[in-house]
Amino acid sequence: MSDRLIFYFNPRSRAVMARWMLEEVGADYDLRLIDFEKGDNRKPEFLAINPMGKIPAIVTAAGAVITETPAIIAWLADAYPDAGLAPPVGSDARGAYYRWLFFGGSCFEPALSEQMFRGDGEPLKRSAVGWGSYDDVIDTIEAGLAGRDYLLGSAFSAADVYIGAELSWASSFKAPRLGESKVIQDFVARVTSREAFGRAMKPN
C-alpha cells in the first residue's frame, strides 16, 4: 500500500501507540497535530472526522476514517502485509492475536481505570464486569508472557505494539504490580527497544 495517510496526533495521548504502528509498517503519512489547549479536538472540522473529539484518527487517501487505537493498529497490520505483523487469517495464531488486541481495550484499560480512580471505594463486582479484577488482568498478562519473547511466542506482532505500549504507559505512572513484574518489565524493555518505537517517540 502506497497511498498517503493523514494522521491526527498529539504526543500526550494514545495516538503515540498508533504512531508507533505507523512507523513499524513504514506507512507514508502526514501528521496533523491536534492541540488540546486550543480546543482543536472540539472544532467542527475535527468533529466531522471523529464526533467523539478523540485521537488518534486516520483518514485514508480514499477518505475513509479509522478511529480507536486497536482498530488503527489492526487495520495497519492488514493494509501493510509486507511488515509481517499479523498472522494469517483463519490460523490459530490469528485467534490469539485477536485476543490480545481486544484484551487491551476491553480488560486492561478498564481494570486499570477502576484500580487507579476508585480511591477507597469498593471494587466493582467481579461477576458484573468483563475484566473481573485488576489482579485477574495482570495475572493473565504475566501468564501470556511467561516463557516467551512476545505475546504470540517468538514472533513480534501488532498485538505487541498495542499491549506493549499500554504496559509501558501504565508503568510510567507506577500502576500497581507492573514495576515488580519481571516478565512484564522484560517484555516492555524488549518491545520499546525497537527502532520504530524510537522514531515514534521523537519530537514532531
pLDDT band at residue 18 under the 50/70/90 scheme? very high
CA distance 38 to 87: 41
Structural contact between residues 177 and 1, judged by C-beta atoms closer than 8 angstroms: no
pLDDT of residue 165: 98
Sorting pLDDT into bands at 50, 70 and 90, what band is 147?
very high
- Sign of the C-alpha dihedral computed for residues 52, 99, 140 and 150 taken in this order: negative
Q: Which domains does the chain have, with CATH numbers?
A: 5-84 (3.40.30.10), 92-198 (1.20.1050.10)
- Which tens digit of pLDDT belongs to each residue from 27-67? 999 999 999 999 999 999 999 999 999 999 999 999 999 99
Give yes or no for residue 16 having a pLDDT over 90: yes
Peptide bond into 81 cis (omega under 30): no
The C-alpha cell at 76 is 495497519
Give the global pTM. Answer: 0.95
pLDDT, tens digit, 9 for 90 and up, residues 154-195:
999 999 999 999 999 999 999 999 999 999 999 999 999 999
Note the pLDDT of residue 202: 87
Look over the chain and give the mean of its residue pLDDT values, rounded to a whole number: 96
Contact 200, 20 (CB under 8 A): yes
**Which three-class secondary structure string do you get for 38-102?**
CCHHHCHHHHCCCCCCCCCEEECCCCCEEECHHHHHHHHHHHCHHHCCCCCCCCHHHHHHHHHHH
Q: In the numeric block, which cell numbers belong to residue 78?
A: 492488514
pLDDT in tens, 96-145: 999 999 999 999 999 999 999 887 788 889 988 999 999 999 999 999 99
CA distances from 166 to 3, 61, 196 (A): 28, 29, 16
